[in-house]
Amino acid sequence: MGRRGRKGRNISGILLLDKPPGMTSNAALQVVKRLFNACKAGHTGSLDPLATGVLPLCFGEATKFSQFLLDADKKYLARVKLGVITDSGDADGEVLERRPVPEIDDVRLEEVLQHYRGDITQIPSMFSALKVDGQPLYKLARKGIEVERKERPVSIYRLEASEREGDELTLLVHCSKGTYVRTLVEDIGKELGPGAHVIGLRRLAAGPFDAEETFTMSELEAKNGNWQEMDQLLLPVSSAVKNWPMVELTDVTASYLRQGQPVQVANAPTDGWVRIFSESDDNDEEFIGVGEILEDGKVAPRKLGVT
């Protein structure tokens, strides 16, 4: 027997969800997928159940380009509780230890934060979604199993304390892909002395998207069934890489690129990745996909949409 076709509407685009607290990213995806009655959808990197904020959801053709959002920088606002250590590094975990919180002046705090700016390494939390032998670490942790994790390089571009009150503080974090904010908070708390865990986390930005562009679950539910209004909330597939340099091809050049051939493009960047468009019949731009500039200056196709 052949494979069954997917049920639902064949729509393409990116929906910027403001993920509510208390849901996994996958649970939020499934709710939104049902609301849109979409046949194909995926999210672009897990947010902890405790976290809220920017969660780009990709539908249809956009799923081909979700990796570029997974690989993008992120920005967070993390609320931190000093003096309490949990097994998961956040408020959803079990309290392991409570310690007195000494007086920590601004100079000492800045000195510690400076240690975590730039290129650093982290050991992923046992409560992360990182998989080992196909199993998410958090599932092993819930069974009381701990496995060895390798250090991973990440980059912290900005790390600032924006607020302080008693034994709580708020950190603004701009980081590379793969950064575990709870691990960052645990490490900072350990160096400060009393330990720490995350009590609130909001993703302010993911790649080219920020929180002001998002829609809440209640806003989506209010439009449930009104496909025309719901589809207007979707961003074009090309918005996943909207900050990349753009190159435009003629119809002839585009046909060669679609066949997998690198092509010469006038006034193209000299290196790096680009988003590729071609001129359509009505003179509007049509998104083809993304490519990379080769050493000889040609544009090589790397990921293309429907051809």
Hey, which residues are catalytic here?
A: 48
1 residue type, one letter: M
Per DSSP, the three-state class of 181 is helix
Residue 198: beta bridge partners? Answer: 80, 90
Looking at residue 2, what DSSP letter applies? P
The continuous run of DSSP H or E covering 247 comes out as strand 246-249
Six token digits for residue 274: 């680009």
Is the Cβ–Cβ distance between 286 and 255 less than 8 Å? no
Q: How far apart are CA 65 and CA 51, in angstroms?
A: 24
| Residue 46: count of CB within 10 angstroms of its CB | 17
